[in-house]
């Protein structure tokens, strides 16, 4: 019953994400909201999925849209460059193609972290980009595994006309859910460390206040 409930939740999340991605510009907020709801599933605190999703979508719209637009522009840039360069016949072209592939690889890795982090932490545009880059490098094996899941699952679902209905139901939410087993332990550890440092700071402040009262 729990498995069936989770599957239905993933279907709902997939449909909500598709709906909110339709304007394209709002896709960043939609993906962050998707990951927020999935992390709530991991914590057994999902509640009312639709209301939670739209609440987070509204909250993430201002913060996640700029970074999503940058990612979108980079994607368009890489696509047209690959079309112009082709396979690369000369030595210079081959080197440029390699650089393009490295850039595509890095941006893809960045996408695996920026939306989950954006869903859990409120910070500036530069902080989001910097933290995501650090995660890509510091947790490269996890990043590579998430990139594989994000590419393979949609490819399988879209590779056959018979699977198109499954792609419509799980094409976005299922890879995100599977990837949560890789990124959530890291994010959870970051949250615990942040809470621990806050508590230590509160205790130190309290002890200083007590000393001042005694004096």
- The answer to whether residues 116 and 186 touch, using CB atoms and an 8 Å cutoff, is no
Residue 215 pLDDT greater than 70, yes or no: no
Question: Residues 150-169: pLDDT tens digits?
Answer: 999 988 888 888 888 998 99
Helices (H), ranges, the chain: 2-21, 27-42, 49-85, 91-120, 125-138, 140-158, 164-170, 173-214
Quote the DSSP letter at residue 90: S
**Per-position b or e across 12-23, b if 16+ CB within 10 A of its CB:** bbbebbbebbee
Token pair listed for 88? 């690369």
Any idea which of 34-38, 41-45, 106-110, 171-175 has the lowest mean pLDDT? 41-45
Q: How far is CA 40 from the centre of its chain?
A: 14
Give 74-83 pLDDT, tens digit per residue.
999 988 888 8
- Per-residue confidence (pLDDT) for residue 98, from 0 to 100: 84
> What sign has the CA pseudo-torsion 194, 198, 200, 201?
positive
Torsion of Cα atoms, 60 then 62 then 67 then 68, to 10°: 70
Asked if pLDDT for residue 50 goes beyond 50, the answer is yes
> Cβ atoms within 10 A of the Cβ of 167, count?
19
Asked if the model's pLDDT at residue 209 lies above 50, the reply is no
> Which residue carries 């799980």 as its tokens?
170
- Better-predicted residue by pLDDT, 108 or 94: 108
Token pair for 20: 């909110």
| pTM confidence score | 0.86
Query: What is d(CA 190, CA 122) in angstroms, rounded to the nearest whole number?
Result: 13
Q: Per-residue pLDDT tens for 13-30?
A: 999 999 999 989 999 999
pLDDT by residue (tens digit) across 182-198? 999 999 988 888 777 66
- Specify the pLDDT at position 157: 86
Q: Which is more confidently placed, 93 or 124?
A: 124
Extract the tokens encoding 103: 């850039």
Burial, 70: exposed, middle or buried (Cβ in 10 Å; 0-12, 13-18, 19+)? middle
Residue linked to tokens 């650089």:
99
Q: How many CB atoms neighbour CB 163 within 10 A?
A: 14
Q: Do the beta carbons of residue 51 and residue 39 sit within 8 Å? A: no
The yes-or-no verdict on residue 125 having pLDDT over 90 is: no
> Quick one: what percent of the chain has pLDDT higher than 70?
87
- CA diameter of the chain: 80
Three-state SS at 208: helix
């Amino acid at each position: 019953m729990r498995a069936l409930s989770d599957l239905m939740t993933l279907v709902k999340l997939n449909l909500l994400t598709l709906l909110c991605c339709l304007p394209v510009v709002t896709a960043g907020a939609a993906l962050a909201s998707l990951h927020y709801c999935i992390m709530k599933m991991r914590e057994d605190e999902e509640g009312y999925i639709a209301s939670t999703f739209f609440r987070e979508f509204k909250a993430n719209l201002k913060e996640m849209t700029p970074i999503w637009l940058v990612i979108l522009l980079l994607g368009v840039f890489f696509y047209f460059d690959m079309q112009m360069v082709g396979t690369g016949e000369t030595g210079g072209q081959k080197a440029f193609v390699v650089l393009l592939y490295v850039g595509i690889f890095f941006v893809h890795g960045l996408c695996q972290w920026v939306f989950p982090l954006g869903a859990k932490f409120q910070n500036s545009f530069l902080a989001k980009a910097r933290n995501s880059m650090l995660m890509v490098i510091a947790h490269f094996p996890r990043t590579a595994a998430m990139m594989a899941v994000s590419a393979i699952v949609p490819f399988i679902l879209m590779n056959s006309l018979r699977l198109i209905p499954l792609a419509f139901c799980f094409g976005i939410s299922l890879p995100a859910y599977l990837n949560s087993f890789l990124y959530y332990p890291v994010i959870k550890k970051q949250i615990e460390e942040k809470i621990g440092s806050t508590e230590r700071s509160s205790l130190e402040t309290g002890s200083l206040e007590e000393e001042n009262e005694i004096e």
